[in-house]
């Protein structure tokens, strides 16, 4: 079995299909998806479903999954209070954007690119069982000498399993990781890493996952929703396979 890690697909179905086509050619594989499968591009809801249904995927929660859960539960509360289905609430609104301004959780999710994912979930019936599955996604995973979570975190936050840090942190870049182990995360697009880190890593292709802090950390977020580029990292060979929309995959 080969083991791969990917992050921040953000509803980009073309790239998701390329990744899955590549993996399905393997005799067997396990994919660690480090969250933010949804939002910003049109097919976030469908990608979340496909990840949940795939027994070869370890799907971790990202901050976008967390925002989806909070927004969905907020809308469900309104639905129960007003005795209207979620689709009826949407139909009563002038748009999904208008509906999502009704609560702070929905508004935050909309501002972070969640409107299309949210609308697709509503139109599919607004299942709270689905929401509960997303809420119960694990926050972290380990394989061999690799530790993985969505945003990255400090050693103290890892040991305490601090939820907010694992989903949202951007304060750990200069913090050391555990000796002889490597932290893999997404959440922060590679180009947004501190320039000092990029310079030390020797990164000259900012869509390729960056190894930084003396190679003890790897950032996987290629901002694929705007770059149309995403990468898989092979945990067994430590090789990177990069996919670009409408192009063949490239080994680096």
- Taking only the tens place, the pLDDT of each residue in 98-157 is 999 999 999 999 999 999 999 999 999 999 999 999 999 999 999 999 999 999 999 999
User: Beta strand 57-59 with 29-33: parallel, antiparallel or unpaired?
Assistant: parallel
Give the integer Cα–Cα distance in Å for 80 and 190: 42
Confidence of residue 203 (pLDDT cuts 50, 70, 90): low
pTM for the full model?
0.94
For residue 246, the model assigns a pLDDT of 62
pLDDT (tens digit, 9 = 90+) per residue, 75-92? 999 999 999 999 999 999
Confidence of residue 202 (pLDDT cuts 50, 70, 90): low
- Of 117-126, 191-200, 201-210, 216-225, the poorest mean pLDDT is in 201-210
Give the integer Cα–Cα distance in Å for 102 and 75: 9
Average pLDDT over residues 175-203: 87
- Of 52-56, 151-155, 171-175, the poorest mean pLDDT is in 171-175
Q: Which residues of 108-146 are buried (b: 16+ CB within 10 A; e: fewer)?
A: ebbebbbbbbbbbbbeeebeeebbeebbebebebeeeeb
For residue 192, the model assigns a pLDDT of 87
User: Beta strand 240-244 with 140-143: parallel, antiparallel or unpaired?
Assistant: unpaired
Average pLDDT over residues 34-54: 98
For residue 93, the model assigns a pLDDT of 97
For residue 250, the model assigns a pLDDT of 45
Average pLDDT over residues 212-233: 94
For residue 249, the model assigns a pLDDT of 47
For residue 205, the model assigns a pLDDT of 58
Task: Work out the number of other CB atoms within 10 angstroms of the CB of residue 53.
Answer: 8
* Residue bearing tokens 């992050």: 7
For residue 200, the model assigns a pLDDT of 66
For residue 195, the model assigns a pLDDT of 78
Average pLDDT, the chain: 94
């Amino acid at each position: 079995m080969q083991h791969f890690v990917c992050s921040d697909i953000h509803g980009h179905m073309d790239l998701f299909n390329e990744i899955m086509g590549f993996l399905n050619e393997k005799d067997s594989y396990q994919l660690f998806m480090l969250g933010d499968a949804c939002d910003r591009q049109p097919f976030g809801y469908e990608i979340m479903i496909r990840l949940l249904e795939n027994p070869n995927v370890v799907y971790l929660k990202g901050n976008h999954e967390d925002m989806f859960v909070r927004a969905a539960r907020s809308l469900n509360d309104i639905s129960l209070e007003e005795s209207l289905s979620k689709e009826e609430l949407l139909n009563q609104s002038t748009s999904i954007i208008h509906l999502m301004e009704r609560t702070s959780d929905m508004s935050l999710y909309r501002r972070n690119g969640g409107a299309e994912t949210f609308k697709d979930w509503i139109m599919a019936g607004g299942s709270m069982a689905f929401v509960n599955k997303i809420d119960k996604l694990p926050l972290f995973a380990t394989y061999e000498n690799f530790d993985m979570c969505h945003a990255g975190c400090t050693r103290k936050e890892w040991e305490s399993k601090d939820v907010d840090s694992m989903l949202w942190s951007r304060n750990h870049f200069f913090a050391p990781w555990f000796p002889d182990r490597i932290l893999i995360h997404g959440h922060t697009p590679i180009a947004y890493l501190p320039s000092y880190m990029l310079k030390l890593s020797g990164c000259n292709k900012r869509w390729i996952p960056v190894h930084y802090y003396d190679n003890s950390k790897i950032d996987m977020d290629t901002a694929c929703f705007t770059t149309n580029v995403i990468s898989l990292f092979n945990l067994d060979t430590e090789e990177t396979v990069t996919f670009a929309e409408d192009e063949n995959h490239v080994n680096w």
